[in-house]
Amino acid sequence: MQDDWTENCPIRGELHDGLTAETASISPKYFYDALGSTLFEAICALPEYYPTRTEAQIFDQHAEDIAATVGKGVTMIDLGAGNCAKAARLFPSLQPRQYVPIDISTEFLREAVNGLRQKFPAIPMQEIAMDFSTSLQLPSTVGRENRLFFYPGSSLGNFAPEEALQFLRRMRHGLQLGEAGGVLLGIDLVKEKAVLDAAYDDALGVTAAFNRNALLHVNRLLGSDFVVDDWQHRGFFNPELSRIEMHLEARRDVTVTWCGGGRKFRQGERIHSENSYKFTPDGFNDLLRQAGFGQAKMWFDPQKWFMLCYARP
Ligand code: AVI
């Protein structure tokens, strides 16, 4: 039974509902407190986690063609900007008229943007701390002309297919508020299972720490009493659903309580914490078309492990 404490707060209500569902789950957005964002940066530097460096390789190899396709002077809206490193790589060639990094992790974003302002004083920047997964309503200070929604790192894969479609439609709608514009998306592609499994269950255990840290974040938000040591990381590719699944698995029978709720977990029971969908180029093109975009321009790395896509309505 929920009480006022969980009912009157959307975040606590959402966590309560996910944790008490038949298959317990928490949203992957709870990975990203300050420590989680730092752990994600560390993941990006792991030998097994190919997406970041493969995407960077595509940016470097095709920088001129990407700039020629996207055009200069865009209002660059960086969704899930994190440390803003990916967008900053494109600043010299794109020369955005405004840079709008958006992230849920406020402190981390502020620090990153302050550093960037010193490096690129000519680019006006407006950071926004918000959960853009549910709404893309931007303040009126964000330029409407020639918007570029920049969503790299295959983050779109963290949405379920239907949610990804809705999110693409919201971006398309956000573009049609102004003139011109497009989306530049980093998309991870289906590949050998062993490569995918290793990328989400690395030898150093950084991804495990990233997954388990979500429990500490949830403890702070919900007032719950998860003990990190009771939980182990599971991360693997599910070929039937073409997605990586991450779970937290109870090492022993545990009881977790929070104000207004609680649950017993049996040994081996799991909390589903993330999906990361992997696409084929054709499959992703279909999704773009369903969302109202035209034929995408795509760039790949030589192994075709990752792709960068540019599409206009
Ligand atoms: C942010 N997102 C694209 C990452 C991914 O690959 O799905 C999150 C992540 N989860 C575990 N490792 C990285």
Contact yes or no for 131/157 (Cβ under 8 A):
no
List, for residues 60-95, the tens digit of each pLDDT value. Answer: 999 889 999 999 899 999 999 988 999 998 999 899
10 Å CB burial of residue 120 (0-12, 13-18, 19+) is middle
State the ipTM, two decimals.
Answer: 0.99
Out of 195, 276, 279, mutate this one to test ligand 1's pocket (max ligand atoms within 8 Å of CB): namely 276
Atom 6 (ligand 1) nearest CA: 276
Tokens representing residue 107 in the block: 């402190």
Listed residue (77, 69, 78, 55) closest to 294, CA to CA: 69
Distance 37 CA to ligand 1 centre (A): 11
Atom of ligand 1 lying closest to residue 210 CA: 11
Q: What is the chain's mean pLDDT, rounded?
A: 94
Atom 5 (ligand 1) nearest CA: 276
Atom of ligand 1 lying closest to residue 235 CA: 11
Helix, strand or coil, per DSSP, at residue 55: helix
pLDDT at 225 over 80: yes
The residue to which tokens 């150093």 are assigned? 204
Beta bridge partners of 231: 250
**pLDDT bucket at 6, cuts 50 / 70 / 90:** low
Atom 7 (ligand 1) nearest CA: 276
pLDDT at 1 over 60: no
pLDDT for res 123: 97
pLDDT at 172 over 60: yes
pLDDT for res 20: 98
List, for residues 149-169, the tens digit of each pLDDT value. Answer: 999 999 999 999 999 999 999
What are φ and ψ of residue 262, in 5° steps? 170, 170
**pLDDT bucket at 8, cuts 50 / 70 / 90:** low
DSSP states along 224-253: ----GGGEEEEEEEETTTTEEEEEEEESS-
Atom of ligand 1 lying closest to residue 155 CA: 3
Contact yes or no for 201/208 (Cβ under 8 A):
yes
Contact yes or no for 168/155 (Cβ under 8 A):
no
pLDDT at 178 over 70: no
Across the range 283-311, mean pLDDT stands at: 96
**pLDDT bucket at 256, cuts 50 / 70 / 90:** very high
Across the range 167-173, mean pLDDT stands at: 95
Contact yes or no for 293/313 (Cβ under 8 A):
yes
pLDDT for res 109: 87
Percent of the chain with pLDDT over 90: 83
- Number of other residues whose CB lies within 10 A of the CB of residue 159: 18
Atom 2 (ligand 1) nearest CA: 155
Tokens representing residue 125 in the block: 């920047």
Report residues whose beta carbon is within 6 angstroms of any ligand 1 atom: 43, 51, 153-155, 157-158, 200, 207, 274, 276
pLDDT at 261 over 70: yes
Distance 242 CA to ligand 1 centre (A): 15
Distance 277 CA to ligand 1 centre (A): 10
pLDDT for res 2: 54
pLDDT for res 167: 96
Give 3-state DSSP helix, strand, coil % of the chain, rounded to 5.
40, 25, 35
**pLDDT bucket at 105, cuts 50 / 70 / 90:** confident
Out of 32, 55, 156, 158, mutate this one to test ligand 1's pocket (max ligand atoms within 8 Å of CB): namely 158
Rg (CA), the chain: 20
Contact yes or no for 75/126 (Cβ under 8 A):
no
Listed residue (81, 53, 48, 86) closest to 237, CA to CA: 48
Say how many residues make up the chain. Answer: 313
pLDDT at 127 over 80: yes
- Cα-based torsion angle of the residue sequence 14, 32, 58, 197 in order, rounded to the nearest 10 degrees: -80
pLDDT at 7 over 90: no
Distance 159 CA to ligand 1 centre (A): 11
List, for residues 130-143, the tens digit of each pLDDT value. Answer: 888 888 999 999 99
Distance 54 CA to ligand 1 centre (A): 14
- Cα-based torsion angle of the residue sequence 56, 58, 61, 67 in order, rounded to the nearest 10 degrees: -90
